[in-house]
Structures are given as structure tokens and as C-alpha cells.
Copies of this chain bind each other. A is one copy, B any other.
């Protein structure tokens, strides 16, 4: 379980590189199956206007706790070996990474399905709120984009 909220821009592939290295410290073979998801800021707001920035608010303490609880529960359910979550907070520009989720397991089914469900549960159960900034005005996003 490797969960962190980040206040500054990050490179998901560097997070994955560091995570893989940390897994190799514990055992020579990391899982035979590894699934990742990277989410980035869309260049347009919900109404189609060009987006200036996306602001992400969270509930310090609860957000980290919820992500850790969800990750732990799913890792157990799916029998996966390791889980990584990095999630941005603060003000992001279009195309900046928001989230990376990664799961390593012995088989592709658990890796892929756990990664997908973890992402979905983060979106609905981890306290984050997005505000889209367009022409200097901020609008809170109501809920999530469809799958």
C-alpha cells in the first residue's frame, strides 16, 4: 500500500519507476501482471470552454485515510501483491497528471480489475472536489464524468 497526495506537479512514470524499485527491494520478482491508470486534466471545461486551470480541494486527514482504506480492502478482495496511488491536490493546468493508480499481481485478471475498481472507488468515495476555472471564474464540478 503506497498512497500519497501531492501538492506539486509530478511525473506518473517516475512515480511508477520508484514504486517498482521499492517492490524489488522486498523480492526479486515483482508480480507477473501489472496494471496502471493515469488521469490528466482535460483541456476543456464541462461546458466545452477552454479550461484555464483545475483546482482540487481535499479533506486533509480523511482523504488519505479513505484512499488507504479502499486500497487495503481491494488488495485483500482481489489478492493483489501491491497497490500504488498518487493524487494531486491544488491548482492544475490542462494536461497535468491528476492521478496514477497501479496494481501488481500474479495474474492479469486481478491486476486489471483491481486497478479499475480502485479508480472508480477513488472517484466516488475519496473526498476530492474539483473546480474548473474559465475566464477567471471558478465552477465546482458536480460529481464525476461518466465511465
Inter-chain contact A112/B116, CB cutoff 8 Å:
yes
Q: Is the CB of A106 within 8 A of B42?
A: yes
| A12-20, A72-80, A131-139 - the one binding chain B | A12-20
Which applies to chain A's interface (DSSP): helix, strand, loop or mixed?
mixed
Nearest Cβ on chain B to A17's Cβ, whole angstroms:
5
Among B28, B43, B107, the residue within 8 A (CB) of A29 is B43
Residues of B within 8 A of A36 (CB): 34-38
Cross-chain contact B147 with A109 (CB below 8 angstroms):
yes
Within 8 Å by CB of A33, from B28, B39, B115, lies B39
User: Is the beta-carbon distance between B37 and A108 smaller than 8 angstroms?
Assistant: yes
C-alpha spacing A5/B31, complex, angstroms? 22
